[in-house]
A and B are shown apart, each in its own frame.
Chain A
Amino acid sequence: MTGFFAIWKREVFSYFVTPLAWVTTTAFLVLQGLHFYLIVASFAGQLDLSADAGPVQTFFGQTVMLYLPLLFVCPVLTMRSFAEERRSGTIEPLLTAPVGTVSVVLAKYLAVLATYVAMWAPTVGYMLVLGRYGELDWNVVAAGYAAVLAVGAGYLAIGTMTSAMTKSQLAAAIASAMAIMGLFMLGLGEFIFAEGPLRDVASHVSVWTQMNDFARGIVDSRRLVFDASVVVLPLFITVRAVESWRLE
């Protein structure tokens, strides 16, 4: 894994010296802040609260506001990864250094994942606010964040893969946004398709249900296995794609 840490550091550094990470993070936090405000404002008018449907559950799953930013933010975060290095040619010195392809791919992926985590980190403040003025089960909050991380990890892996497949950042972003939305919509089929194998598949990949389960503290390992496979498969394809550039 020589060179892994060097590449990881440079990637994180580059995210935060170029405006991309700041613009995305700011936009993301403005939207999540609005999202949180709306939730709290709506719950403030209710007298009776069930334990299963509080602001935390709503924040992590029951409105479309969680998914919309994810579907846009993940492609934007990952689009540069490989596409920009190939366009500008810096991929050549990178791949002629004595580092393995797996190190390069993992370093780039984990750098973007770290940026994603940094982007979500300030929202912990919302939970602190809720905890200050009401009862809060921190295990449920942890499960909610675990789901956000697991689903995001998969989306970012898909984005890293599409970025390795084109020299155009825009094409990479569009391709990964389509793939992610496709996957998300397939999951919604759970509520639409008639009983049968198609519905089974849809419920297996359903991010909506996963988020709702986790937001209620139900951590199902089958969900995590699926999320892990959405990380591993695209990254494996990415490694093969990077290696195949040599054969072009």
Chain B
Amino acid sequence: MIEVTHLSKSYGSIAAVRDLSFTVERGDVVGFLGPNGAGKSTTLRILAGFLGMTSGTVCIAGHDVALERKQALSRLGYMPEACPLYPELKVGEYLRFRAELKGVPRRARQAEVGRVLELARVDDYAEVVIGHLSKGYRQRVGIADALLGSPPLLILDEPTAGLDPNQIREVRALVRSLGGKHTVLVSTHILTEVELACTRAIVIDRGRLVAEGSIDEIRRAGGRGRVALTVRGSESEVRRVCEARSEHVVECEAIAASGTARLVVAAPEEELAEHTEELVRALTVAGLGVREVVPAMATLEQVFAELTRDAAVAREAPKRAEPERP
């Protein structure tokens, strides 16, 4: 559905996107992840045909965005970041305007607007002037707009930014429900969102691709296994024993009520068992009881931190080798 090959975009001398390539298959709900300033919005704006690329190609449903702009854009529903709308129009008026703009036939227009109003749960607000809406509702109008004409591909740029927890849950459920019927590419920097709503994820950092794949693949992408231990003893005692192995103990926190502490050991898969064994021995020798040893699942949050940190380290070396732009 989306094919991006060697996409680069520079603003003057600043490279926002560098040699980015990825594909999104039909029917996937893909999370587009990256820290702030990673080039997420720039990439999505290029996909949506709002910005041109410095080099590379973008194909939407087989149509090159630069060469067959109209064909590509008519297969795409796009919600820009912050969701700008005309404040003087009513929600219904705005959506009818957008439906006409997107070429929804006159007869089908009213029904289509009704359908998206309901889908985005703004049907009670059709007669409200957009300028009077709260941010959450404006965001939903943006999503309703993207859904107009049932395009096969939806691109949503931070649809949950600035919403309260209930609204976030609703938008997330909406995004999840759109999978199957639509291909969805949704950008965010909140990882739980991707875990809950998406089947695949693309991670970028400073304009480069750092990981791409299913959520499980991304989770493994860090390449480190994890084991969680519950240890009887105060946090400070446990920390003292762990100090020698601090690079592998990634978390240590007291569980207040039970007088125990929780440790998480992270290490490359092949060394994990060895490190765990050593740590358990050291703890036992120190007189601290190991009560529980269980395999732990890395959260995307941790993987993300590792991925973007690795990328930062790896970047330093080749950067100097790159020829300066004239």
Contact = CB atoms under 8 A, between A and B. Distances in A.
B86 A98 contact: no
Given A96-B78, A96-B80, A98-B73, A7 B49 contact: no
Given A3-B103, A7-B101, A90-B86, A96 B49 contact: yes
Residue of A3, A6, A14, A92 with most chain B CB atoms under a 10 A cut-off: A92
B86 A14 contact: yes
A100 B70 contact: yes
B100 A95 contact: no
Interface string A74-102: 00000000000000111011111111100
Nearest to B66: A246
A247 B10 CA distance: 10
Nearest to A93: B80
Interface string B41-76: 000010011111000000000000000011001101
A3 to B, nearest CB: 5
Contact of B88 (A7, A9, A17, A95): A17
Given A93-B145, A248-B11, A3 B101 contact: yes
Given A96-B48, A97-B73, A98-B73, 10 more contacts: A9-B97, A13-B93, A88-B87, A89-B82, A93-B98, A98-B70, A98-B101, A246-B51, A246-B52, A248-B51
18 contacts: A2-B103, A6-B101, A7-B101, A9-B97, A14-B88, A88-B84, A89-B80, A89-B82, A90-B84, A92-B50, A93-B78, A93-B145, A96-B48, A96-B76, A98-B70, A98-B74, A98-B103, A248-B11
Contacts of A2: 101, 103
A97 B80 contact: no
A93 to B, nearest CB: 6
Nearest to B100: A6
Q: Which of B82, B86, B93, B97 has the most CB of A within 10 A?
A: B86
Contact of A95 (B11, B50, B93): B50
Contacts of B49: 95-96, 246
A203 to B, nearest CB: 44
Contact of B84 (A17, A93, A97): A93
Interface string A115-137: 00000000000000000000000
Nearest to A94: B101
Given A96-B48, A96-B50, A100-B70, A89 B84 contact: yes
The residue among A3, A5, A17, A97 with the most chain B CB atoms within 10 A of its own CB is A97
B100 A92 contact: no
Contacts of A89: 80, 82, 84
Contacts of B74: 98
Among all A-B residue pairs, the 9 with the closest Cβ atoms: A89-B84, A6-B100, A246-B52, A98-B74, A98-B73, A92-B80, A96-B48, A90-B84, A97-B101
Interface string B82-102: 101111110001000110111
A3 B97 CA distance: 9
A46 interface: no
Interface residues of A, number: 26
Interface residues of B, number: 29
A52 to B, nearest CB: 47
Contact of B52 (A13, A17, A247): A247
Interface in B14-53: 45, 48-52
Nearest to A246: B52
B187 to A, nearest CB: 14
Contact of B73 (A13, A14, A92, A96): A96
A247 to B, nearest CB: 5
A102 to B, nearest CB: 12
Contacts of A7: 101
Nearest to A5: B100
Nearest to A17: B88
B133 to A, nearest CB: 15
A97 B11 contact: no
Contacts of A100: 70
A18 interface: yes
Nearest to A9: B97
A90 B97 CA distance: 13
Contacts of A240: none
Interface string A1-23: 01101110110011001100000
A126 B49 CA distance: 50
Nearest to A84: B86
B189 to A, nearest CB: 20
A167 to B, nearest CB: 13
A246 B101 contact: no
A81 B314 CA distance: 47
Interface string A96-112: 11111000000000000
A90 B85 contact: yes
Given A96-B48, A97-B98, A97-B102, A18 B70 contact: no
Nearest to B45: A92
Nearest to B151: A98
A89 B83 CA distance: 8
A98 B88 contact: no
Interface in B121-162: 145
Interface string A213-248: 000000000000000000000000000000000111
Contacts of A246: 49-52
